[in-house]
A and B are shown apart, each in its own frame.
Chain A
Amino acid sequence: MRDSISIVFAGSGGAGAITAGSAFLQAAARAGYYGLMTKLSGAQVRGGEAAALVEIGVAPLDAQPDRYDVLIALDWDNVGKFAPELPMDAASIVLADPAAGKPAEAIVATGARMVDFPLSKLAADVKGRGNMVALGAAAALAGFDASAVEQSIRALIGAKGEAAIVSSLVAIAAGAAAARGIESDIALKPGHPGRRWFGSGNEAIGLGALRGGVRFVAAYPITPATEITEWLAPRMKAVGGRAMLAEDEIAAINMAVGASFGGAPSLTVTSGPGLSLKVETIGLAISAEIPLVIVDVMRVGPSTGIPTKSDQGDLDLALYGTHGDAPRIVLAPMSIADCALTTERAVHLAEALQTPVFVLSDQSLGQTQTIIDEPTERAEPMARVMASDRTGADFRRYQPTPDNVSPMPAPGAEGRQWVAEGLSHDEFGHPSNAARFHVAGLNKRRDKLEAFDYGDIWGEVSGEGDTVVIAFGSSVGPVKEAARRLRDSGVAIRVVGLRLLAPIPKKQIAAAIAGARRVIVVEQNHTGQLYRHLLGAKALPQEAESLARPGPAPFRPGEIAAHIV
């Protein structure tokens, strides 16, 4: 009996591979398991080949698997193209329909055991669809309870009516019966049915935004971030807010800044190319001290890069993008569950400290669907200081205060009219070229971020040992899984997941790596952006090492474990 298994459903467009994967994942949740699903698709806008990569386990999963146990090919049209992303070996099984022609050579070359599985005939015999037969086979191999599969089908296609449900269930049963004859060792240990949370990182960011109080979002369509805006659009209405489709990326961030000036917690959503366009306005929001959350769902860059694949190469831009000295807060969620909490905290920090706050997610977190325990942890609310007891000539928008945060009345507050200003300005907000006002402004904006107590937002330490691995964002999951395996084989590893990337939590990092013999910074980009950032700030010892490897290939725990030992 296994703790976790991994199954791929693949086929040409319209064959239903993704539907089968989604149903399998949801059935797993109902059978008491946890899971992850990533989708692969061809370059075509619509109708190309597709694959659903599903991993199921008795405990929550942190990373994609090193290899896949089963591939069910609905047909072989172009499925071979996915081979580099579907590592398999002699212990893997490929269920191939003899009627679908010769299996892809690249798949055969993995050494996986090829099993004839007459999908199309089984489907035709019961007048059902091949993808439902595949689902039945996978569920049988994993040892799922039939009622869990039925529940998931009813939830997924219930709207199509009872006839469609029955047709699917018959095909599922046929697939399950046929799969019982296949020799395999992938049956899972029993699950523990209970309440589960099902969603993607992109949806979790949307949820975190709503929980944090965002009531205005503006964005321009961009892969892989658009799902956040699409998820938020109807729900923003439901909470009494607004979502705007802007004419371009620059308009989107300026709309968000305008709404925020009006008093509404505001957010803009983008990916790398869009962030490149937004950086001028980020400088404005920093200078004028306007609260704003910028979500960047990173993809492979530079330029258009690979829009559908994950990478952590926007870190430099998030940390430093815009001219002049412009400190900001940069947060990175470490898991899909953390996407909700980190975004909620980002909203609170932006509001409380009157500054742009980045949420650096990536395609991998954003578009992976997961089954986890409900992310119920909530952040302590922090709000914008809007009230001021001063009016008229006494009111100074940028009045010095002990925490360097000044009252920011919204339009409508009588006697406190002020002008948000991108020019260097004095305490009233009036434009000024004077060095003393300029330097005072730089100091104020730096100090309000540096002096703030971020509490446990800074990051997390797990495990013990004198080898320390530091990671951020979607790299934390595979690092944790690698550490778990190394611990099982007797190698002690400490993992530091960094959530607060700017300002650098130097004290917390120092405490977290105390006593380390070896420090390795793991990140998914080409030049070691986090490593340079931390080393430049002397937050790491000089002898710290960098494991920087760019996308598009996902980090696999085995790769990281092999590097460490």
Chain B
Amino acid sequence: MDLSAHETTACSRPDLTLKDFKSGVEPIWCAGCGDFGVLQSLQRALAANGRPPHEVALVSGIGCSSRLPAYTSAYGFHGVHGRALPVATGLKLARPELEVVVVGGDGDGYSIGGNHFMHACRRNVNLTYIVMDNRVYGMTKGQPSPTTEPDWDSDIAPGGVGVSPFSPVAIALAAGANFVARGFALDVKPLAEILVAAMKHPGFSFVEVLSPCITFRPEQMEWKKAIERNALRPTSDRKAAMAAVLGANEMMSGIIFAGDRPAYAETLPTAEGLAEIENEFILDPAA
């Protein structure tokens, strides 16, 4: 049996709505968490994308936002901290016809999972990766992440970590992601549109979502006013995209880059069988 034995015929269902992607599980998120907005945007985007729940798989690691797969009616994988991308890579390569979406937070994706982020961009498997960036480790109650401002005061780093954050979108561009965008969690409809575009785009699509943490970073609720909507315009020129984001205002949302790199290993190899392989081992003086 080869991998194609599991293949289902991908079907498009225009009748799907957000409700089809709701599960009965109650989120553990704090009231007012930005991740509610992302959940709603994603469910809306999945409906618009037209693939039924059983042909969708959501893969995540560990953290507040990584709880999302349980709140969606789809196949899901809530794995270990930082390793969502390799799980999704294996799944997508074994089952190319599935819609595979990876979700998680800034600590999960940029810190413990940083190596996988870089290599997922480089490898360009046809996945959509949504990072809900609140610039804090929420589940462990408020530690600075790789995108936290250097002077943000916390118990673990009094007075701030003193280290500048990195730019996830710039890293994604440099590492080869084929689609890069930034959205805002509370802009549900525009974010859903970005997510649909990300899912439809071939190759690895990275969507950085600014998602306020109401509990540990309540000041982020001001992002509502600070966001410059659609300030970023899509380009297929990677250098121009890089120039538009490096050192630029990180409150700008929109699609940054949509490239034309072919996705990695889109089709499954054809099986030929084992007999010839078995014969490689045989030494037969009579033959």
Contact = CB atoms under 8 A, between A and B. Distances in A.
A420 interface: yes
Contact of B265 (A242, A280, A410, A431): A242
B270 to A, nearest CB: 6
B98 A411 contact: yes
B59 A258 contact: yes
A412 B8 contact: yes
A415 B73 CA distance: 9
Contact of A257 (B87, B115, B285): B87
Contacts of A413: 54
A30 B79 CA distance: 52
Interface in B2-31: 2-4, 6-8, 25
B78 interface: yes
A526 interface: no
A207 interface: yes
B55 A30 contact: no
A281 B83 contact: yes
Nearest to A415: B54
B83 A262 contact: no
A241 interface: yes
A252 B85 CA distance: 11
Contacts of B89: 244, 251, 255, 258
B96 to A, nearest CB: 10
Interface string A167-187: 000000000000000000000
Given A207-B278, A284-B79, A216 B74 contact: no
A416 B88 CA distance: 19
Given A207-B277, A240-B2, A430-B70, A412 B54 contact: yes
B75 A411 contact: yes
Contacts of A281: 79-80, 83
Contact of B76 (A151, A203, A256, A417): A417
A263 B95 contact: yes
A30 B285 CA distance: 6
B281 to A, nearest CB: 5
Contacts of B8: 412
A487 B251 CA distance: 81
B74 A417 contact: yes
Contacts of B284: 194-196
A254 B269 contact: no
Interface in A182-222: 193-199, 203, 207, 210-211, 213, 215-216, 218
Contact of A263 (B6, B118, B281): B6
Given A410-B6, A411-B57, A420 B115 contact: no
A369 B83 CA distance: 37
Contact of A417 (B6, B73, B87, B281): B73
Contacts of A419: 58, 69-70, 75-78
Nearest to B122: A247
A29 B286 CA distance: 12
A371 interface: yes
Contacts of A262: 6, 57, 90-91, 94-95, 98
Contacts of B74: 417
A148 interface: yes
Interface stretch (A231-239, A309-317, A503-511, A549-557): A231-239
Contacts of A237: 269
Contact of B86 (A29, A211, A251): A251
A255 B86 contact: yes
Contacts of B118: 247
Given A197-B282, A266-B90, A412-B55, A241 B78 contact: no
Contacts of B73: 417
Contact of B3 (A32, A193, A216): A216
Contacts of A423: 78
Contacts of B283: 26, 29-30, 155, 195-198, 371
A261 interface: yes
A241 B79 contact: no
B111 to A, nearest CB: 14
A264 B6 contact: yes
Contacts of B90: 216, 218, 244, 254-262, 266
A250 interface: yes
A387 B235 CA distance: 46
A251 B285 contact: no
A237 B52 CA distance: 30
Contacts of A194: 284-286
Contacts of B265: 242
A488 interface: no
A116 interface: no
Contact of A239 (B78, B91, B272): B272
B271 interface: yes
Contacts of B219: none
A543 interface: no
B268 to A, nearest CB: 7
A385 to B, nearest CB: 15
Nearest to B89: A255
B234 interface: no
Nearest to A252: B86
B79 A254 contact: yes
Contacts of A259: 90-91, 93-94
B155 interface: no
A237 B272 CA distance: 9
A415 B91 CA distance: 19
Nearest to A204: B281
A419 B58 CA distance: 9
B79 A240 contact: no
Interface in A14-31: 26, 29-30
A423 B67 CA distance: 10
10 contacts: A195-B283, A199-B281, A218-B90, A238-B271, A251-B86, A260-B90, A260-B94, A263-B95, A418-B75, A420-B76
7 nearest A-B residue pairs (beta carbon): A240-B2, A258-B90, A240-B271, A419-B76, A255-B90, A254-B86, A258-B87
Given A238-B273, A417-B53, 5 more contacts: A193-B286, A215-B2, A216-B3, A238-B277, A411-B57
Interface of B: 1-4, 6-8, 25, 52-59, 62, 67, 69-70, 73-80, 83, 85-95, 97-98, 115-116, 118-119, 265, 268-274, 276-278, 281-286
